[in-house]
Structure 1
Amino acid sequence: MGHTRSSNSAALTCEAPPIWSRRPVPELPVADTPALPPVRRVGTTTTLAYGFGAVAYGIKDNGFGTFLLLFYNQVMGLPSAQVGFVVMCALLLDACIDPVIGIASDRTRTRWGRRHPWMYSAAVPIALGWLLLWNPPELSPGWTLAWLFGAAVLVRSAVSAYEVPSQALTPELTADYDERTRITAYRYIFGWAAGLLMLLAAYQIFLVPEPGQANGLLNRDGYTAFGATGAGIMLVAILVSALGTHAEIARLPRQPAPKGGVRTAFAELLAATRNRAFLMLMAAGLFAYTIQGISFSLSNYLYSFVWEFETATFGLLAGVLFVGVVLAFLGAPALAKRIGKPRAAALLIATAGTLQALPFVLRLAGWFPAPGEAAMVPILFGIYIVNTAASIGTAILGASMMADVVEHSEVDTGRRSEGVFFAGAFFVQKATGGVGIFVSGLILAAAGFPENATPGAVPAATLDWLTILFAGTYFALAITAAWLFLRFPFGPAEHRARIERLARAG
């Protein structure tokens, strides 16, 4: 593929062969590699391997967001508000670990670079934690909540040890404004494809009705198989991604060995996080990822109890959502190239908020087809496709904008802090994911939603309050996120000028 070289890129724009065709990467002096990544199109092998690693995060995110509250509430019999609170506490604690991992990754110096030692070491703990999460032993309610807390912290901390360094590779692989969006889109399509395939497998293979259990979503043995399958796939995905990007280590930007100890490291963290662009993205992400957490946590409640989906409909759902993923993969980079990343992200998240609320508003007004009517499912699926595309497109652009923040900060601080910035982004995702589950528990409690509920037997007033609280919260948070995205302080012209300035200085 053709590549555009930056003024200090040297021979860094050709795609390296995969690790299995090369000897171990030798330790290179700092002078042999640039301090700034090249402005280039990343090769196909590296792009696919890099994107494939997000399979692990997709499976984890789908399980946490879609099934965790349901499993511990409806299957294990714990109150929804308590489950939501415990998960929120676990994720908030775990989120505090992310900046530490970001700092440590930025300051790591090995012959395997700054990122890959972390990526390799996270594979087994993630798989083990995932198995434990879906297999709580027979304990009292209090100890079951404690098990949930410990397993959730283990899984999310191990995921951080992989995801923060892995995502930090985005601004290291290329300095090109639009190419960063393209390779980020690959991460999202792999992650969402894996999550949706596990969703399909859950609905069609693992969580299916059995004798004595008419509701497959309450099949405890199915969750055991769901956890074991996910653990195996996550392990493979992480190792394949680390191996497939290993050959890039020799060409990644090298930084001088860090000076100072823990106090210096945290002083650098505080300096980096004062960056205005970073703070604006964190604020927008706070609202965008909270609504994602709420939507995921309540999705099965809405599908089963409000819309009364049948088993066959659940089977179609994963394919429908994947159409939205593909639209985001194709459309988000194109839209950002046309109108810029901040405006594109604002437009997409506002669209997502409007579409998510629309069917519930129409239902309350009596203008939406009722469960069982032929038109209901096709109309919902059409809305879900566009809503999914808008939501994922927003996430793709947010991650790409975070990569651009690296050079924005470097101009002020003289340091590249990829790990710190992506740790901050991951902190927001985790913290708001926990907040989303907690808010979902509060919504269920406020609506008076019963435990061990049966579809078709929940009072209409309860379902009305559930939809009012869900749709109103989602729309308000989405519009707030759109407003914040519009205040991101720079676009493509400023970024390219900054890259040229850094290249001349280097």
Structure 2
Amino acid sequence: MSQLRNEAYPLGMFGIVFLNTLFTQWIVFFFAPPGTVRGPGGAAEAVGSLSGVGALLFVGYLLMALVNPWIGGWSDRLRTRWGRRRPLIALATPALAAMFALIWTRALPAWVAIPLYCVLFVVVVQPYAALLPSVASEERVRLRMSLVGAVLALVSVGLALIAGPFLVKRLGFAGLGWAGATALLVTVLGPTLLLVETPPSEEPAAGGPKVLLELLRQQGVTRFLAGNALLTGGFTALLMAAPYVTVALLAREQTWTARLNGVLFLGMLVSIPLVGALAKRLQPLGELRGSALLAGAVLLALGGWAGASGAAAREELGAWYVSFAILGLPSLVVLALPPVVLSAFGDRDGRDRQGAFFGLNGAAINLGNAGAAVSTATLLGLGSSVEDPRGVVGVLIATGAAFALGGALFPPPRVLATEERADSEEAK
């Protein structure tokens, strides 16, 4: 019966990814629409400008980076009658849903709402990600749940990317907030209350900075985290830039963003079998590197062409569609493969410290998101209108550079293979 209840676990990935995609794509646009220097009235006045929005997001993502390892270690050591991770998720999910809804109504100042949302997001998502081994003890069950979760996450990305612009147009940003909050409550809180968490060992696992430093000293871990941070930050910047590309570079209304998003999502769907085949041939680390370099080349070429062509680029919709379709492959890889690599590192560790591993990765990718937020907002401040789209072009070029650098930083696939053999020989 408990295993049947635990089959609900993958549902949480839908709400988490749906919420995060909506937030990432629309938060800058909400406070500083294209062509404006200052945001709209109310709470946005506390932000003041695109650079102000970027600064707030930088603070929020920095808080996420700082909180992630602490929450991970705490959930590893927590002992309650309801489990060690479920209480955190159950208590924080309603608060996160409420905060997400409040952001888009301006009920709280942005300088309060955005950082608080970021912290609550970590308190929910970090323990939820680390919960998998506790609800699925067998490897085949974990693999099945991970696959189902990846499919649901992909569906939620597509839904958020395509429906988001229409939600904003028909229901306003407040409707967007309530849609995200409802999805989170239904798909995360519901399963959390059903799950049966396997009790850990009697002695709490060790935690603290010493453990994090120990994990970082493993060969290849630091390079992987740095590369993954740049890839995640690049994907975040791409989502943030899409509405501005639509309005400033293509001179279309914001609902046209759904077309670019839809093409990106279609590219992700088509790439599903290719990602699996390449992972077997190149290994996950090799595929991450190749996909990052591909995205870097496409975005650098797209930004250079848009900057040189000017208004003529607006009429070449086919080039934009093809570019975003190609970007579907690296976008899917960014979503799907990092947890696979982390699992390989975690299996080698073998000390029931999943929370610390995922917390360390969470810190890295949120540092990447912090850099993406502040750099994207700063560049958009240079020009994000039809008359002056320099900032949007700059974001495309900077995002391409981030993907290319991330690909170059990833360790070669032989790093994991070599260490696995070394560990095996040492065990003998």
1:55-109 CA deviation, whole Å, 9 max, x = no partner? 2322232222211111112352531011111221122123211111101111123
Measure the CA separation in 1 of the matches of 2:82 and 2:422: 31
Which ranges of structure 1 fall in alignment gaps of 5 or more residues?
Answer: 1-14, 20-44, 138-143, 209-220
Measure the CA separation in 1 of the matches of 2:310 and 2:64: 44
Contact in 2 for aligned 1:188/1:329 (Cα 8 Å):
no
Measure the CA separation in 2 of the matches of 1:109 and 1:489: 38
Give the one of 403, 406, 414 matched to 2:343. Answer: 403
Contact in 2 for aligned 1:171/1:406 (Cα 8 Å):
no
What amino acid does structure 2 have at the position aligned with 1:472? I
Measure the CA separation in 2 of the matches of 1:108 and 1:384: 44
Structure of larger gyration radius: 1
Per the alignment, residue 157 of structure 1 pairs with 119
* Offset of residue 437 of structure 1: 1.3
Per the alignment, residue 380 of structure 1 pairs with 320
Per the alignment, residue 13 of structure 2 pairs with 54
Give the one of 246, 262, 282 matched to 1:303. Answer: 246
Partner SS state of residue 328, structure 2:
helix
Partner SS state of residue 122, structure 1:
helix
Does the alignment pair 1:471 with 2:414? no
Contact in 1 for aligned 2:232/2:334 (Cα 8 Å):
no
What amino acid does structure 1 have at the position aligned with 2:29? L
Measure the CA separation in 1 of the matches of 2:127 and 2:355: 6
Counterparts in 2 of 1:356 and 1:51: CA distance versus 1, 3 Å: farther
Counterparts in 2 of 1:493 and 1:225: CA distance versus 1, 3 Å: same
- Of all paired residues, the percent bearing the same amino acid is 21
Counterparts in 2 of 1:336 and 1:180: CA distance versus 1, 3 Å: farther
* Offset of residue 175 of structure 1: 7.9
Measure the CA separation in 2 of the matches of 1:324 and 1:171: 31
Counterparts in 2 of 1:290 and 1:80: CA distance versus 1, 3 Å: same
Measure the CA separation in 2 of the matches of 1:495 and 1:241: 35
Counterpart mapping for 1:208-357 below 5 A: 208=170, 222-243=172-193, 246-247=195-196, 249-250=197-198, 254-258=200-204, 265-310=208-253, 313-357=256-300
Aligned residues: 416
Counterparts in 2 of 1:199 and 1:425: CA distance versus 1, 3 Å: same
* Offset of residue 330 of structure 1: 3.3
* Offset of residue 496 of structure 1: 8.0
Contact in 1 for aligned 2:304/2:397 (Cα 8 Å):
no
Counterparts in 2 of 1:126 and 1:367: CA distance versus 1, 3 Å: closer
Per the alignment, residue 4 of structure 2 pairs with 18
* Offset of residue 404 of structure 1: 1.4
1:334-386 CA deviation, whole Å, 9 max, x = no partner? 31122211111101111111222333333344499632x4xx33432232122
What amino acid does structure 2 have at the position aligned with 1:482? G
Partner SS state of residue 9, structure 2:
helix
Give the one of 76, 87, 105 matched to 2:40. Answer: 76
Give the one of 128, 134, 144 matched to 1:166. Answer: 128
1:304-360 CA deviation, whole Å, 9 max, x = no partner? 110223566444444323223323443323311222111111011111112223333
Per the alignment, residue 483 of structure 1 pairs with 408
Measure the CA separation in 2 of the matches of 1:196 and 1:269: 35
Per the alignment, residue 130 of structure 1 pairs with 100
Partner SS state of residue 55, structure 1:
helix
Measure the CA separation in 2 of the matches of 1:123 and 1:277: 34
Measure the CA separation in 2 of the matches of 1:384 and 1:390: 10
Partner SS state of residue 91, structure 1:
helix
Counterparts in 2 of 1:278 and 1:116: CA distance versus 1, 3 Å: farther
- What TM-score comes out, normalization by structure 2 length? 0.85
Root mean square deviation, CA, Å:
3.2
What amino acid does structure 1 have at the position aligned with 2:354? E
Measure the CA separation in 2 of the matches of 1:160 and 1:278: 21
Give the one of 189, 193, 216 matched to 2:155. Answer: 193
Per the alignment, residue 101 of structure 1 pairs with 71
Per the alignment, residue 36 of structure 2 pairs with none
Contact in 2 for aligned 1:184/1:396 (Cα 8 Å):
no
Measure the CA separation in 1 of the matches of 2:227 and 2:26: 26
1:18-74 CA deviation, whole Å, 9 max, x = no partner? 22xxxxxxxxxxxxxxxxxxxxxxxxx73xx33321223222322222111111123
Per the alignment, residue 352 of structure 2 pairs with 416
Partner SS state of residue 347, structure 2:
helix
Identify, as 1 or 2, the structure richer in helix: 2
* Offset of residue 124 of structure 1: 0.7
Partner SS state of residue 199, structure 1:
helix
Measure the CA separation in 2 of the matches of 1:272 and 1:481: 20
Measure the CA separation in 2 of the matches of 1:166 and 1:431: 20
1:228-269 CA deviation, whole Å, 9 max, x = no partner? 12111111110244256x24x34x7x3341278xxx644333
Contact in 1 for aligned 2:212/2:360 (Cα 8 Å):
no
Measure the CA separation in 2 of the matches of 1:488 and 1:111: 42
Per the alignment, residue 331 of structure 2 pairs with 391
Counterparts in 2 of 1:342 and 1:180: CA distance versus 1, 3 Å: farther
What amino acid does structure 2 have at the position aligned with 1:258? P
Contact in 2 for aligned 1:123/1:235 (Cα 8 Å):
yes
1:426-451 CA deviation, whole Å, 9 max, x = no partner? 12222222221110111122x344xx
Contact in 1 for aligned 2:101/2:177 (Cα 8 Å):
yes
Counterparts in 2 of 1:194 and 1:162: CA distance versus 1, 3 Å: same
Partner SS state of residue 114, structure 1:
coil
What amino acid does structure 1 have at the position aligned with 2:68? D
Per the alignment, residue 44 of structure 2 pairs with none
Counterparts in 2 of 1:120 and 1:496: CA distance versus 1, 3 Å: farther
What amino acid does structure 1 have at the position aligned with 2:342? M
* Offset of residue 402 of structure 1: 1.0
Measure the CA separation in 2 of the matches of 1:128 and 1:471: 33
Per the alignment, residue 33 of structure 1 pairs with none
* Offset of residue 489 of structure 1: 5.9
Measure the CA separation in 1 of the matches of 2:210 and 2:258: 51
